[in-house]
Structure 1
Amino acid sequence: MHTFIGLDVGTQGARAVLADVSGNVLASSEENFPLSDSSREEQSPETWWRACARVLEEVLQHSAAAGLQAISVTSTSGTIIPIGKNNEPLHPAIMYSDGRQAEEGALCKLTAIQYNPDGYTAFNTTSGLPKMLWFLRRFPEKMNDIHLFIHAADFIIGKLSGRYDVTDFTNVLKSGYDVRIERWPEYIWEKLPLRREWLQTVVPSGTPVGPVTADIKGLRKNVTVVAGMTDGCASQIASGAVSPGTWNTTIGTTLVVKGVTLNAVKDPQGRLYNHRHPEGFWMPGGASNTGADWVTRLFGNDLAALNEAAAKLLPTEHLFYPLMQEGERFPFIAPQARQFETPGMDDAERFTAGMEGVAYVERLAYELIEQLSGEKVNAVYTAGGASNSNAWLAIRANVLNRPVHKMKEVTGATGAAILAASGTHFSSLREAAAAMTQIEKTITPQPSLVAAYENNYHRFVHALKEKGYA
């Protein structure tokens, strides 16, 4: 039996899964990190590695691990680690969620727009390039000790294979790499105080990096380590949205839309950004500040009765835009955006209208994508906590007027395992995903509900426009 391991190094812990060629998860293990008040800003890469080694040893105890072919890694996007010539960190990992790089983010954005306007220019505090610049400004005495700036997934891949000099298309996007022409733009070292030799070689996700060199019990040295991917893209892979026209919506704390197009989607407002697909396609994506965080904040965790009631209320005539913070970024940019709702709703009506409101935002996102790309959205796969609500799935299928496919395994670790298989056992990522992703159920639209939601959707969009949001 051929098997593959995916490792996911998140903000709070590490997870490993062992999967077979059909995508069945045969074993999994996870471990939380010991977090502190500063963990949103900095974390220890060595702590990550020790946790990874332990969860790997756990899944390697499964009998199917005897057929292990390859391993890959996914982790947070925008997290940066400066390493020295001995490949040891010169500083803790500077986390994507570290907000201290606002000044550097503004400088990187201004420089990129001036010198590379067609490349990635949406730099902010979550981006990798500003974090490199911030480190140089704060610790100039360490400048001559720097060997490379690497990303979170690269550190674990380096520990596994001894190769720290290689990264992938998805991790380098926010570090300034131009994925259109597949090279680092000169402004990074000509206009910013960085050096070309500090930047890694970039390969498509899924490219074999080398054999395992790490000493981990049960991990053979002939297992191939494969170039990784950022966590959001890995979850997209696990959803099966890997061919042009296929899209994934993950509704967790926020609503994240990612898909595949033949061409890069150019968005003058910067609501969408484009990752590069390993096979040369494009993987556009955007994230709304609206998602499912309102559910637990307004209604708690005991939702069975509300979901049952919601199924009998579809569709409501109410409007509820359940934005829990100030401002929206996708599918429209409106820093002044605020929550709004029809007054006088009871709990069941409000709960149902909130799910409908998020579905309207999702539809608006896909209409924007089709408008900007000129390409059709053919299939929507879904993941995240919201996909566990049958009522919400029904709302979304009818608002979108498209079948919505709920996937069986949608974790980043599963996506990393599929990626490992794509570069070794299968001939492509699309072939690997076709074999290893499984649809749990498909929800199809009902003509009567589609017609009712068509009217309600336009009322919702009209309300957004009246308030100056969209």
Structure 2
Amino acid sequence: MNNYFFGVDVGTQGARIVLVNQEGKLIASDARKFELDDCFREEQSPELWWKDCKEMMTDLIASLPSSIDRSCIQALSVTSTSGTVIPLDKNYDPLHNAIMYSDPRSAEQGKRCKEVATKYVKEGYTGFNASSGISKMVWFQETYPEKAEDIELWVHASDYIVGKFSSNYKTTDYTNVLKSAYDLEKLEWPAYVIKELGIKRSCLQEVVPSGTIVGELDAELASTWGIPQIAIVVGMTDGCATQMASGAVKPGNWNTTIGTTLVIKGVTKSNVVDPLGRLYSHRHPEGYWMPGGASNTGADWISLDFADNLQALNEEAEQLVPTGLLAWPLKQEGERYPIMAAQARGFYPEGVSQAAQFTAGLEGVAFIERLAYEIIEDLSSEKVEAVYSAGGGSNSDIWLQTRASVLNVPIYKCKEASGAFGAAIMAASNTFYSSLIEAASAMTQIEKEVLPNSDLVSAYETQYRAFKQKLSDLNYI
């Protein structure tokens, strides 16, 4: 008998829902782009997220074939962006739009949060900046003091959707609270958050391990959809969910996800502390640590600048590597990982074809990925032996080959490595299975292994050194 699990992913520009069985087989899925305005990188409507998610759930369940026993649907979990926060009122309705992780308006508050945290935290995470949830909380309360007294609860993006499914808004997980200043070593909200940053303790959520059941599906929704009141499992951040989907859940495993941004995650036995704040460690639900970082460099440049003839560009890129050109396709101002440089700007080679610019962009992202892993190796004293890859960037064979050759390690692409699939694994981890590692082992499959090309490895050593030198010349490193 099959058992089934929903995974919901609320991303920056759209949402996706999957239904999978206990073996990780994809049963059904749906996706939708949000109707966003030009300010979507700063604020978005969480009601819009829920409207689209609810409609997709309705359509997906209605379209399930009769062979799928709806009574065997077991659980649901949610993933969404890290650092996005929402102030809720006493009715748990949004007092304001969701303040997005990519909103730069809290830069000054981020500096202050970092300074305060550094005074009190010696071995934990203090790398707060404009993309941190705690910075946005402080910014909102200072910018809208008339609304501050009406805040009942601060929640993260995935928490809001979990709340709509289950009516439990008060609980969040280890991964969401890292950038909201929760102490993952002591497992408590530190006193400085309340006393120095001015956030009321009553407005802060209770924190549980990722994968914890926090409620059951709202009775009215269950009746409407014709499914049981299934278990609702606490949400988690998108980077961590995709790491789960890639299979990188045991100590020594590493994952790179290239979506809108580039996210690197791994699993270590001990906490990895970066004094410069480039790298941070999430708490693994089974007691390990998940160090990694999120870059502003990703694949958004492809959808924005090269989407019209992408297939042809990928084919041309196969003939152009290695280009010997230097590009960094950073689309927004400033970088956060592996470089902390608010003044950073991307760059492309001039006077070359569109295909050459595209190919150089692929290489540039690979160079950023390598720089990130070099920092990880230095801080952890562990060698990166292989990388599990996920996200839209993993769909390009030439990009996989380029990255494997730049990193000089094998890259493994998993069959269903998406945030929504990772959320489904989390939904199964403590309902059908007894742990996250057991669930991920049973539900993930490697689809492709890409080995380094020896000729490219040699050429990229020279090109990578030139790339780092350019970053140095620009005072980015």
What is the TM-score when the length of structure 1 is the normalising length? 0.90
1:2 CA displacement? 0.3
1:84 CA displacement? 3.4
In the other structure, the counterpart of 1:149 is: 154
Question: In the alignment, is residue 374 of structure 1 matched against residue 381 of structure 2?
Answer: yes
Code of the aligned partner of 1:23: G
1:464 CA displacement? 4.0
In the other structure, the counterpart of 1:6 is: 7
Task: Give 3-state SS (helix, strand or coil) of 2:225's partner.
Answer: coil
Task: Give 3-state SS (helix, strand or coil) of 2:105's partner.
Answer: coil
CA distance in 2, matches of 1:326, 1:200: 32
In the other structure, the counterpart of 1:356 is: 363
Distance 1:232 1:89, change over 3 A: same
Question: In the alignment, is residue 270 of structure 1 matched against residue 271 of structure 2?
Answer: no
Paired residues, what number?
A: 470
Give the conservation status (yes or no) of the 8 Å contact 2:85–2:157. Answer: yes
1:319 CA displacement? 4.0
CA distance in 2, matches of 1:33, 1:250: 22
Give the conservation status (yes or no) of the 8 Å contact 1:14–1:55. Answer: no
Task: Give 3-state SS (helix, strand or coil) of 1:101's partner.
Answer: helix
> What is the 5 A alignment of 1:15-94?
15-61=16-62, 62=64, 63-94=68-99
Give the conservation status (yes or no) of the 8 Å contact 1:294–1:324. Answer: yes
Give the conservation status (yes or no) of the 8 Å contact 1:242–1:259. Answer: yes
CA distance in 1, matches of 2:83, 2:475: 32
Distance 1:351 1:147, change over 3 A: closer
CA distance in 2, matches of 1:464, 1:141: 44
1:330 CA displacement? 2.7
CA distance in 1, matches of 2:346, 2:130: 25
1:278 CA displacement? 1.2
Distance 1:404 1:84, change over 3 A: same
CA distance in 2, matches of 1:123, 1:3: 38
CA distance in 2, matches of 1:42, 1:460: 34
Give identity over the alignment, percent.
57
CA distance in 1, matches of 2:239, 2:345: 26
Code of the aligned partner of 1:118: E
1:151 CA displacement? 1.7
CA distance in 2, matches of 1:105, 1:42: 17
Distance 1:365 1:54, change over 3 A: same
CA distance in 1, matches of 2:321, 2:448: 20
CA distance in 1, matches of 2:143, 2:331: 35
In the other structure, the counterpart of 1:251 is: 258
CA distance in 2, matches of 1:81, 1:296: 28
Question: In the alignment, is residue 443 of structure 1 matched against residue 450 of structure 2?
Answer: yes
Give a deviation string over 1:300-324, Cα, whole Å, max 9, x none: 5313333333323443444444445
CA distance in 1, matches of 2:238, 2:429: 17
In the other structure, the counterpart of 1:237 is: 244
Code of the aligned partner of 1:391: I
What is the TM-score when the length of structure 2 is the normalising length? 0.89
> What is the 5 A alignment of 1:1-400?
1-61=2-62, 62=64, 63-216=68-221, 217-218=224-225, 220-295=227-302, 299-324=306-331, 327-335=334-342, 337=344, 345-400=352-407
Query: Is there any run of 5+ residues in structure 2 with no aligned partner, and where?
Result: none
1:421 CA displacement? 0.5
1:59 CA displacement? 2.5
CA distance in 2, matches of 1:417, 1:394: 29
Give the conservation status (yes or no) of the 8 Å contact 1:213–1:221. Answer: no
Task: Give 3-state SS (helix, strand or coil) of 1:60's partner.
Answer: helix
1:143 CA displacement? 4.8
Code of the aligned partner of 1:13: G
In the other structure, the counterpart of 2:431 is: 424
- Relative to structure 2, which stretch is displaced further, 200-209 or 305-314? 305-314
How much is the aligned-residue C-alpha RMSD, in angstroms?
Answer: 2.7
- Relative to structure 2, which stretch is displaced further, 39-48 or 14-23? 39-48
